């Protein structure tokens, strides 16, 4: 079995599946072309039935089924399979949709003009022949190909234990590279790449990147990514469509459309409303209509990922070289072709030289006969028969004076000149006997002399070709130029620069997400538009499903393509894109962070920082760290640019301490720390107060001195505004008066419950003596607003001017006063907010409410605030974060209702009255 299988394997490798590097053909293709050439089915003759050509091949050369022969013949006639067609077909030869060709009895075919360049001179001893399977005929072992067909048309084959997959290339580029290699045989691969930019598929498309091409050309192996050519067009008002005009090589268009439809049905790809094929004789056109609310670019990226609109072509340039399979690079293939073609030219020259010498030899005999015509005629007339006449001519001696120069001219050694005499050879004698009488005229005698001169010139040319490598290369260049002029076509496949594999981020719809983290370490992201804005005092909606006594401890709003940095209780930093976080519905609990960050171990995430979307800003930014014990530290953001999957040490923490916040900052800004027991401090970021630490392992410096039992809960970075104490006081009095004028209808309950030290209008008007209108407008433009929320659901806004700048490390000032008749004994959060934005409040029961900040009054720093969130018994606010986009409002000022398809908010989310009276909403 071992010997039998080895023989079978070698037969498949050498005689069936692998192409020859010389002509780029497998045996079946070679036999088809040769049989059609032998039968005269050339490009300048009428079409013949395909069945006749298949029959000739099967009967003479290829003892296999007619189906395999016809399939190979059909492929050579398909413009989407061959870069240069070798068969000119008439009839149905299939389609790019995978349609089967018509039966061979219906189609007609003949050799394409390009095939003549593969077959030219095959009858001039240019290649070896071998017996066919029954030794009744002879077939060529290789065709004398005049162009590098292996590279131009490529090849695909599966043998035993090996396979080949060679892509097609542009004919002009391949021939130009061959010509350049002939000129400079020591040319390197980089020089060849200036001529051949990469594969050129007949179906067009776009090759992504050049690394795979270079690898394939250098080693013979490489992976090439091919992408369909697609454009986004507006087909009608507000409706866009993806138009596909070219698809990757060897992709079935009909199967591709079926796959897209299947993905749409299974909802693996969303945003497609219709798909149709508008291809016709003018070209390919597949239209994929996009829904109004979908992003065409994202849908297209999904199609690239999940369908054959993007494929990988694995190059394996394995071919037979000297009868042995060999993996070759680009230069190896071209070098082998040049060597083969030089041998073809040499063998052809020797064949033609022999023919020319034979003809010259006959012409010399004719010259002798014409010069001695009377004696020749007398000999012939005296002979009784042709054989005797031939013997008489050969035995006679003739004067060599006239022919001796001719013998030297044509290098003829067949006639020996002895003592000025020469004898005729048998071939010359036969030629004389076959001489027609009309050749004896003066004109014909001149033609014999002229032909002899031409033969002499041709013989010398052939001798020069045989004796000179340089001359053979000149002939090769001329013949390649002729082939190029015939088969060269413009490049069909574009090569685009590409960094690597397609980034998964391109598959993600850009948009805002709410990221929620629970105490037990579950994380998820939910689209922001799920949560509609409500008036303050509403009942909210369920925003995070929890398990057991788990509670939501952190939530923030971020873009899908934004980096998020996680800081653990052990002082390590991790980094992840928002779109990589698990997406879940508002009621789902999410995914455990320990599964998302496998090296987290037993640590918990204590701080989360969404980084700026534009990474160019990272160089100019610093990170400010704040711990629960009141410590702060400043580092460059660029120190955290490269974070491995196992994390990076971010800050050294003492036992029992934890990170409560990390924010980006710049030199000269202010750090604002707020504590649980309503204390706060504000100090400027300078090298004297908080220097930039070079390392990441230090614990930092003291930011605020805490009372026993207190801890820092919030960190904010504010812009530093140079203003005196008098200017700030005057501004606050004038701003409060302005706000009271704009909000005259405030409720009695809020006024009674909030301890606000405010000046009356007369005092405010007197403040203009200290603060000019211009200075007031300047300070107003730079004003920042802080929102303070208690764990009882009350909150208020205050001007940042109400918080003086002090030195680092002090005990701070009062941040909020708690009212006896309002719930709440601790501050849940203090954060900076902007007009026109919303804030999200999260409770330990997993409920969320989204409140416009404009509905929260601006009050003095000591005020206890107004109702933001009506809580159930034993429920507390645990997290507050800003939402950066607005939703539309109805004409009456109430928040717009949830869009159709948005989960209902439930009865406990009814909006409160605008005046926020103390009664239930």
Active site residues: 106
Backbone dihedral angles phi then psi of residue 674, each to the nearest 5 degrees? -125, 140
C-alpha distances in angstroms, 288 versus 233, 243, 285, 332, 880? 10, 6, 10, 44, 43
Alpha carbons 788 and 716: distance in angstroms, whole number: 12
Alpha carbons 97 and 666: distance in angstroms, whole number: 60
Residue found under tokens 């594969």? 199
Helices within 418-526 (DSSP H only): 426-433, 442-467, 469-487
Q: Are 515 and 585 in contact (CB under 8 A)?
A: no
Q: Are 553 and 877 in contact (CB under 8 A)?
A: no
CA-closest candidate to residue 423, choices 412, 432, 414, 435: 414
Q: Are 104 and 42 in contact (CB under 8 A)?
A: no
Alpha carbons 216 and 428: distance in angstroms, whole number: 59
How many of the other CB atoms lie within 10 Å of CB of 164? 24
Helix (H, G, I), strand (E, B) or coil at 645: coil
How many of the other CB atoms lie within 10 Å of CB of 139? 18
Torsion of CA 766, 772, 775, 780, to 10 degrees: 40
CA-closest candidate to residue 663, choices 703, 623, 698, 693: 623
The alpha carbon of 650 is separated from its chain's Cα centroid by a whole number of angstroms, namely 35
Strand partners, 283: 280
Tokens at 271, concatenated: 């945003």
Q: Are 632 and 626 in contact (CB under 8 A)?
A: yes
Tokens at 29, concatenated: 């293709």
Dihedral (CA of 650, 651, 657, 659) sign? negative
C-alpha distances in angstroms, 800 versus 731, 807, 835? 11, 16, 14
Tokens at 791, concatenated: 């764990």
Alpha carbons 132 and 171: distance in angstroms, whole number: 32
Alpha carbons 456 and 357: distance in angstroms, whole number: 8
Tokens at 496, concatenated: 């685009």
CA-closest candidate to residue 658, choices 700, 631, 627, 703: 627
Identify each DSSP E strand in 584-637 by its residue range.
591-592, 605-610, 622-627, 631-636
Q: Please give the order of strands across the beta sheet that includes 494-496.
A: 155-158, 163-166, 310-316, 221-227, 206-208, 494-496
Helix (H, G, I), strand (E, B) or coil at 586: coil
């Amino acid at each position: 079995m071992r010997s039998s299988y080895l023989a079978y394997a070698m037969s498949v490798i050498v005689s069936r599946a692998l192409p020859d590097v010389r002509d780029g053909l497998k045996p079946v293709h070679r036999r088809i072309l040769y049989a059609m050439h032998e039968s005269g089915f050339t490009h300048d003759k009428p079409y013949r039935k395909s069945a006749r050509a298949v029959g000739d091949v099967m009967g003479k050369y290829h003892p296999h089924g007619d189906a395999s022969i016809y399939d190979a013949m059909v492929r050579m006639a398909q413009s989407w399979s061959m870069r240069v067609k070798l068969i000119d077909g008439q009839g149905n030869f299939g389609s790019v949709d995978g349609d089967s060709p018509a039966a061979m009895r219906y189609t007609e075919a003949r050799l394409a003009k390009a095939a003549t360049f593969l077959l030219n001179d095959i009858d001039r001893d240019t290649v070896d022949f071998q017996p066919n399977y029954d030794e009744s005929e002879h077939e060529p072992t290789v065709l004398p190909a005049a162009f590098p067909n292996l590279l131009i048309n490529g090849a695909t084959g599966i043998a035993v234990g090996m396979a080949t997959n060679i892509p097609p290339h542009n004919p002009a580029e391949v021939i130009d590279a061959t010509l350049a290699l002939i000129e400079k045989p020591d040319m390197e691969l980089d020089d060849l790449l200036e001529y051949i930019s990469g594969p050129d598929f007949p179906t067009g498309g776009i090759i992504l990147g050049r690394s795979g091409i270079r690898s394939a050309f250098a080693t013979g192996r490489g992976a090439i990514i091919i992408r369909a050519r697609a454009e986004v067009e507006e087909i009608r008002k507000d409706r866009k469509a993806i138009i596909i005009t070219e698809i990757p090589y060897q992709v079935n268009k009909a199967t591709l459309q079926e796959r897209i439809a299947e993905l749409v049905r299974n909802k693996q790809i969303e945003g497609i409303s219709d798909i149709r094929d508008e291809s016709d004789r003018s070209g390919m056109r597949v239209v994929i209509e996009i829904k109004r609310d979908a992003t065409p670019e994202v849908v297209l990226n999904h199609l690239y990922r999940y369908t054959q609109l993007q494929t990988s072509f694995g190059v394996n340039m394995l071919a037979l070289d000297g009868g042995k399979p060999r993996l070759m690079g680009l230069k190896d293939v071209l070098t082998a072709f040049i060597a083969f073609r030089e041998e073809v030219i040499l063998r052809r020259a020797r064949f033609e030289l022999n023919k020319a010498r034979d003809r010259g030899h006959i012409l010399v005999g004719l010259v002798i006969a014409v010069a001695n015509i009377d004696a020749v005629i007398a000999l012939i007339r005296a002979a009784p028969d042709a054989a005797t006449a031939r013997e008489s001519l050969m035995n006679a001696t003739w004067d060599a004076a006239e022919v001796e120069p001719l013998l030297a001219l044509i290098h003829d050694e067949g006639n020996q000149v002895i003592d000025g005499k020469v004898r005729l050879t048998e071939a010359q004698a036969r030629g004389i006997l076959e001489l027609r009488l009309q050749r004896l005229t003066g004109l014909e005698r001149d033609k014999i002399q002229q032909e002899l001169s031409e033969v002499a010139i041709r013989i010398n040319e052939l001798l020069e070709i045989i004796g000179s490598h340089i001359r053979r290369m000149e002939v090769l260049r001329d013949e390649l130029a002729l082939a190029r002029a015939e088969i060269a076509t413009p490049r069909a496949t574009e090569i685009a620069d590409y960094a690597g594999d397609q980034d998964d981020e391109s598959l993600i719809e850009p948009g805002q997400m709410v990221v929620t983290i629970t105490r037990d370490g579950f994380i998820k992201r939910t689209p922001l538009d799920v949560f509609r804005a409500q008036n303050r005092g509403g009942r909210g909606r369920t925003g995070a499903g929890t398990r057991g006594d788990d509670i939501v401890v952190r939530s923030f709003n971020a873009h899908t393509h934004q980096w998020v940095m996680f800081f653990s209780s052990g002082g390590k930093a991790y980094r992840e894109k928002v779109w990589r976080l698990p997406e879940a519905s508002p009621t789902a609990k999410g995914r455990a962070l320990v599964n998302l960050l496998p090296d987290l171990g037993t640590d918990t995430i204590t701080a989360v920082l969404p980084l700026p979307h534009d990474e160019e800003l990272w160089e100019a930014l610093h990170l400010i760290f704040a711990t629960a014990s009141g410590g702060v530290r400043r580092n460059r953001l660029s120190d955290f640019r490269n974070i491995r999957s196992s994390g990076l040490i971010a800050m050294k923490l003492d036992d029992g301490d934890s990170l409560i916040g990390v924010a980006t900052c710049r030199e000269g800004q202010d750090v604002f720390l707020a504590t649980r027991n309503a204390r706060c401090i504000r100090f400027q970021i300078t090298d004297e107060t908080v220097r930039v630490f070079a390392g990441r392992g230090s614990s930092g410096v003291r930011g605020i001195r805490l009372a026993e039992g207190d801890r820092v809960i919030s960190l904010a970075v504010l812009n530093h505004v140079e203003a005196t104490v008098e200017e700030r006081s005057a501004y606050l009095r004038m701003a409060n008066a302005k706000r009271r004028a704009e909000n005259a209808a405030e409720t009695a309950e809020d006024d009674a419950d909030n301890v606000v030290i405010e000046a009356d209008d007369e005092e405010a008007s007197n403040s203009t003596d200290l603060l000019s209108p211009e200075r007031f407008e300047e300070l107003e433009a730079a004003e920042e607003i802080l929102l303070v929320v208690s764990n009882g659901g009350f909150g208020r806004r205050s001007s940042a001017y109400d918080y003086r700048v002090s030195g680092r490390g002090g005990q701070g000032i009062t941040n909020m006063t708690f009212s006896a008749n309002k719930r709440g004994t601790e501050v849940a959060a203090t954060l900076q907010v902007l007009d026109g934005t919303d804030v999200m409040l999260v409770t330990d029961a997993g409920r969320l409410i989204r409140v416009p900040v404009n509905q929260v009054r601006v009050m003095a720093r000591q005020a206890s605030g107004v109702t933001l969130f009506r809580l159930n018994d034993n429920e507390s606010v645990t997290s507050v974060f800003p939402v950066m986009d607005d939703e539309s409002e109805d004409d009456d000022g109430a928040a717009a209702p949830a869009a159709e398809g948005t989960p209902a908010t439930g009865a406990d989310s009814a909006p409160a009255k605008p005046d926020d009276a103390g009664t239930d909403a």
